[in-house]
């Protein structure tokens, strides 16, 4: 009897230890030229900017190489500083080789003209879809408003009220809330509503992620397009 | 998650097979059981009855259950989880192995149930019937851990009134019994009331030294409590848990009055309830023999 109780106690103690659950949070790294310049005035300079998100969607500081498809039109140095030399069109490429040897790049096509034109994208949109058996669906738009963004969830939005502790995040990894920005607890489960996110840009995040904190699982997401 | 745990605690109480039923303890007699009950689950039934994954969660209860016959028809009952542990695993990146969500655990006592059973029929009745009022005391931890989602109790004072009926009979040379119950669980703190029903069948083998018991427990919510939509506090998570659970328990008397037990139960369908089996082992002292 004593042995039985002892074995039971040991098994209980061992099995009640905190273990590890692993989630598949691998994503393709992304290098994103964040400038929205369409044309560059000849004989002027322009500093290109970028953001790099690694294989878990975390922003990481890297030094990409910059190149121009036609150095007779635009030249660009190692820091992304471009100089428009002559009228025409060239493709600017930012390229980074990650730790696994993968080449990650982004390109923008720039016209060298008589004036510099920057057309800031003002809105993006997407579709919210469940990734579980909890109801979650709808569409949304995201508008830029100075230094903020406004997420407008549309009338067709619907979420299960049986789901405890649902939170909304902005993330660059649809499978994880690591490195994501928490917007807040979901308090509207049907119909249109908005979230204002301060100090955020339209191109800072790629996904809306709905996450259930008590269960610690992702419930759904929406790609920002 | 809270309601999952609350409902699991109910299953753990249901899993006490040799006590309970419509039979009050004889006057001055007692049944005492020290048991360990646990479940570890990484998936749960959603509000639509489907199964979804969740971070691995474990709950362990070390409980003392006791019945004492005040008279031949009045029996006092207590179920006291004297040590309750609830934990959640770390969530790690499968890519970098870094911790995304830190695992955590809490240890405390659980919610204590005290009850009074009254035999509506005289001792020795052909079909004994009893009523039991159980009061669930909110003695456990209600929102432990950084996110407040670990708990060893539900934080509400509930009143559970049930009626039991049963019949003992011979199955060949083996003593056997069957019993059923039904009751209403009135809950506070915006939790939904519940209808609970179920039954069990048992057979005593080896001259009634070894008992096998099969159990069925059903909980249906009245869905009149808070939901995520109308709850004002983040401390109220899911509500309206429901399940159909089956269980099996074996009890072996190693002396005339002392025995050991082992059992399991599993929800075969449900809503906002863990989709994993629970297990129990224990040692008991039965003065009625």
- Model confidence over B154-177: pLDDT tens digits? 888 999 999 999 999 999 989 999
Q: Note whether residue A55 is domain-resident.
A: yes
Residue A7: inside a domain, yes or no? Answer: no
Domain assignment present for residue A164? The answer is yes
Structure ipTM over 0.85, yes or no: no
Judged by DSSP in three states, A109 sits in strand
Give the pLDDT confidence of B13-70 residue by residue, as tens digits.
444 444 578 999 999 999 999 999 999 999 999 889 999 999 999 999 999 999 999 9
In the block, residue with structure tokens 């009850």: B115
Q: What is the pLDDT of residue B239?
A: 75
How many domains are contained in chain A? 2
Residues of A with CB under 8 A from a CB of B: 1, 4-5, 8-9, 12, 15-26, 55-56, 132-135, 160-166, 176-178, 185-187, 189, 213-217
Closest CA in chain B for residue A27: B95
> How many secondary structure helices (H) and strands (E) does chain A include?
1, 20
- Nearest Cα neighbor of B37 from B70, B8, B3, B69 is B8
Res. B2 pLDDT band, cuts 50 70 90: very low
Helix residue spans in chain A (DSSP H)? 2-15
* Cβ–Cβ below 8 Å for B55 and A21: yes
- Find the CATH number of the domain harbouring B31: 2.40.160.40
Q: Which residue has the tokens 């609970």?
A: B196
Determine the distance in angstroms separating the CA of A188 from the nearest CA of chain B, rounded to an integer.
7
Per-residue pLDDT, B231? 57
Round to whole Å and give the CA distance between B175 and B265.
Answer: 23
Flag if A20 and B96 touch (Cβ within 8 Å).
no
CA distances from residue B180 to A156, B165, B200, B264 in whole angstroms, order as listed: 47, 6, 6, 19
Flag whether pLDDT at B131 surpasses 90. yes
CA-CA distance, B46 to A76, in Å (whole number)? 55
User: Same structural domain for residues A48 and A82?
Assistant: yes
Structural domain including B110 reads 2-286
Gyration radius (Cα) of chain A, Å: 23
**Beta B210-221 vs B194-205: how paired, if at all?**
antiparallel
* Cβ atoms B159, B138 nearer than 8 A: no
Residues 6+ apart with CB under 8 A from A194: A150, A151, A152, A153
Nearest-Cα distance to chain A for B200, in Å, is 26
Distance CA B121, CA B113 (A): 24
pLDDT tens digits, A70-110: 999 999 999 999 999 999 999 999 999 998 899 999 999 99
Strand partners, B59: B39, B86
CA distance B241 to chain A (A): 10
pLDDT of B207-264, one tens digit each?
Answer: 999 999 999 999 999 988 887 766 544 333 357 889 999 999 999 999 999 999 999 9
Q: Is the domain of A133 the same as that of A101?
A: no
Tell me the residue range of the domain where A187 lies.
Answer: 123-223
SS3 category, B54: strand
Look at residues A118, A150, A177 and tell me which one is the last residue of a structural domain: A118
In-domain check, residue A173: yes
Kindly give, in sequence order, each residue whose CB lies less than 8 Å from that of residue A61, ignoring residues fewer than 6 positions away. A52
Residue B139: burial class (beta carbons within 10 Å; 0-12, 13-18, 19+):
middle
Residues A118-132 have a mean pLDDT of: 92
- Examine the domain organization and report whether A189 and A143 are in the same domain: yes
Q: How many domains does chain B have?
A: 1
Rounded to a whole number of angstroms, the distance from the CA of B89 to the nearest CA of chain A is 5
Note the pLDDT tens digit of each residue in B177-210.
Answer: 999 999 999 999 888 999 999 999 999 999 999 9
Angle, alpha carbons B205-B197-B180 (nearest 5°)? 35
Give the model's pLDDT for residue A186.
Answer: 93
pLDDT at residue B60, rounded to an integer:
93
String of DSSP letters for B197-260: EEEEEEEEETTTTEEEEEEEEEEEE---S--TTT-SSTT------EEEEEEEEEEEESSSSEEE
| Whether residue A182 sits in one domain with residue A138 | yes
For residues A160 and A97, membership in a common domain is answered with no
Cβ of A15 within 8 Å of Cβ of B238? The answer is: no
- Here the CATH number for the domain that contains residue A42 is 2.60.40.1080
d(CA A110, CA A74): 9
Residue A97 lies in a domain: yes
For B43, name the nearest residue in chain A, comparing CA atoms only.
A215
Q: What is the mean pLDDT of residues A193-203?
A: 94
Q: Does A21 sit within 8 Å of B56, measured CB to CB?
A: yes
Residues A128 and A215 placed together within one structural domain of the fold:
yes
Per-residue buried b or exposed e for B178-202, using 16+ beta carbons within 10 Å of the residue's own CB: bbbbebebebebbbbbbebebbbbb
Cα–Cα distance, B15 to B22 (Å, whole number): 15
Residue in chain B lying closest to A189 (CA): B229
Look up the CATH number of the domain holding residue A132.
Answer: 2.60.40
E strand residue ranges, chain B: 30-45, 51-69, 74-88, 90-93, 99-101, 104-108, 112-119, 129-137, 158-171, 174-186, 194-205, 210-221, 242-253, 258-271, 273-274, 278-286
Give the tokens for residue A168.
């909304």
Name the closest residue on chain A to residue B272, using Cα atoms. A162
Does residue A142 surpass a pLDDT of 60?
A: yes
Among A118, A144, A173, give the residue marking a domain's end: A118
Q: Which of A118, A149, A176 is the last residue of a domain?
A: A118
Cβ–Cβ < 8 Å for A12, B38: yes
At B235 the pLDDT is: 36
């Amino acid at each position: 009897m004593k042995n039985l109780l002892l074995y039971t106690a040991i098994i209980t103690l061992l099995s009640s230890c905190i273990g590890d659950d692993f989630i598949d949070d691998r994503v393709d790294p992304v290098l994103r030229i964040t400038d929205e310049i369409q044309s560059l005035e000849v004989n002027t300079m322009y500093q290109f900017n970028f953001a790099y998100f690694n294989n878990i969607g975390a922003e990481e500081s890297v030094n990409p190489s910059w190149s121009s498809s036609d150095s007779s039109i635009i030249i660009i140095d190692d820091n992304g500083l471009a100089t428009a030399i002559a009228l025409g069109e060239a493709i600017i490429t930012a390229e980074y080789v990650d730790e696994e040897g993968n080449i990650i790049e982004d390109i923008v096509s720039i016209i060298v003209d008589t004036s510099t034109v920057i057309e800031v994208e003002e809105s993006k949109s997407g579709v919210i879809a469940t990734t579980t058996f909890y109801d979650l669906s709808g569409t949304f738009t995201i508008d830029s408003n100075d230094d903020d963004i406004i997420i407008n969830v549309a009338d067709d939005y619907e979420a299960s009220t049986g789901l405890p502790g649902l939170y909304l995040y902005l993330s660059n990894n649809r499978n994880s809330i690591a490195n994501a920005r928490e917007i807040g607890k979901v308090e509207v489960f049907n119909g249109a509503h908005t979230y204002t996110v301060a100090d955020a840009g339209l191109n800072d995040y790629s996904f809306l992620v709905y996450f259930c904190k008590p269960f610690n699982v992702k419930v759904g997401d929406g790609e920002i397009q | 998650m809270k309601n999952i745990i609350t409902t699991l605690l109910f299953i753990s109480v249901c899993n006490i097979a040799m006590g309970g039923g419509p039979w009050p303890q004889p006057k001055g007699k007692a049944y005492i059981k020290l048991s360990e009950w646990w479940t570890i689950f990484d998936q749960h039934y959603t509000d639509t009855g489907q199964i979804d994954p969740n971070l691995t969660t474990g709950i362990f209860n070390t409980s003392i259950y006791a019945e004492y016959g005040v008279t031949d028809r009045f029996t006092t009952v207590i179920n006291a989880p004297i040590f309750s542990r609830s934990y959640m695993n770390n969530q790690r990146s499968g890519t970098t192995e870094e911790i995304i969500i830190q695992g955590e655990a809490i240890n405390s006592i659980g919610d204590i149930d005290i009850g009074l059973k009254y035999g509506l029929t005289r001792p020795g009745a052909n079909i004994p019937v009893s009523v039991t009022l159980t009061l669930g005391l909110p003695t456990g931890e209600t929102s432990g851990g950084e996110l407040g989602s670990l708990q060893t109790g539900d934080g509400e004072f509930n009143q559970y009134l049930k009626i039991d009926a049963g019949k003992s009979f011979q199955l060949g040379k083996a003593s056997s019994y069957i019993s059923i119950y039904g009751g209403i669980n009135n809950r506070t703190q915006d939790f939904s009331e519940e209808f609970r029903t179920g039954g069990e069948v048992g057979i005593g083998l080896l001259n009634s030294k070894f008992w096998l018991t099969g159990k069925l427990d059903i909980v249906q919510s009245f869905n009149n409590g808070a939901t995520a939509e109308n709850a004002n506090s983040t401390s109220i998570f899911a509500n309206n848990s429901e399940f159909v659970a089956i269980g099996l328990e074996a009890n072996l008397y190693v002396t005339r009055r002392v025995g050991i037990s082992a059992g399991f139960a599993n929800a075969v369908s449900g809503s906002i309830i863990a989709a994993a089996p629970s297990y129990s082992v224990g040692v008991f002292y039965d003065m009625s023999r």
